[in-house]
Amino acid sequence: MSDIFFSDEYFMKEALKEARKAFDADEIPVGAIIVSGNKIIAKAHNLAETLNDVTAHAEMQAITAAAEYLGAKYLNECTLYVTLEPCMMCAGALNWSQIGKIVYGAHDEKRGYNKYKPQLLHPKTEIVSGIMAQECASILKDFFARKRNK
């Protein structure tokens, strides 16, 4: 592990870069990265349209990539940074992965995991929300505004 300290904002900016790639590919712009020991071990963005696959959310791909990198399916030493509150599917996957910490940007009142009871995430997972929420929400608003004006 490096001694250099990276803030949550630093890593969220990396997740936002991934969201931007989704935007440019005409995908709903959500980006995710997974960090282990201060190092980014997975980067992904939503590819549901490109891959014709509803399971290709940024978080799902990041979980698979991080597990592949680590050679282990549990991510309890890892932190996920994602620009949007995870949906029920991704929260379920994150529960199975036993991920140590989740940092998300914008809230998703309609589709976010928080509306479900009991809690979808693993009880040991630490959660931080609202990091760069405005920037994370803005890219989504711009995307849907562009869609409506097409």
Q: Which stretch binds a second copy (CB under 8 A): 3-11, 49-57, 77-85, 141-149?
A: 49-57
Which of 63, 78, 131, 140 binds a second copy (CB under 8 A)? It is 63
Whether the Cβ atoms of residue 85 and residue 114 lie closer than 8 Å to each other: yes
Contacts of 25 (CB under 8 A, 6+ apart): 45, 47, 49, 50
Alpha-carbon span 101 to 40, nearest angstrom: 14
Report DSSP state, residue 113.
G
Alpha-carbon span 83 to 133, nearest angstrom: 8
Place of tokens 């712009």: 29
Which of 32, 58, 67, 139 binds a second copy (CB under 8 A)? It is 67
Q: Which stretch binds a second copy (CB under 8 A): 5-13, 25-33, 36-44, 110-118?
A: 110-118
Question: Measured from the CB atom, is 39 or 111 closer to a second copy?
Answer: 111
Burial status of residue 109 (CB atoms within 10 A of its CB: 0-12, 13-18, 19 or more): exposed
Interface with a second copy: number of residues (CB under 8 A): 30
Concerning whether 49 is annotated as a catalytic residue, the answer is no
Catalytic residue among 18, 27, 59, 85: 59
116 scored as a contact of a second copy (CB under 8 A): yes
Place of tokens 């990265």: 33
90 scored as a contact of a second copy (CB under 8 A): yes
Residues forming the active site: 59
Under the rule (CB under 8 A), what is the footprint of a second copy?
48-49, 52-55, 60, 63-64, 67-68, 71-74, 87-93, 95-97, 115-118, 120
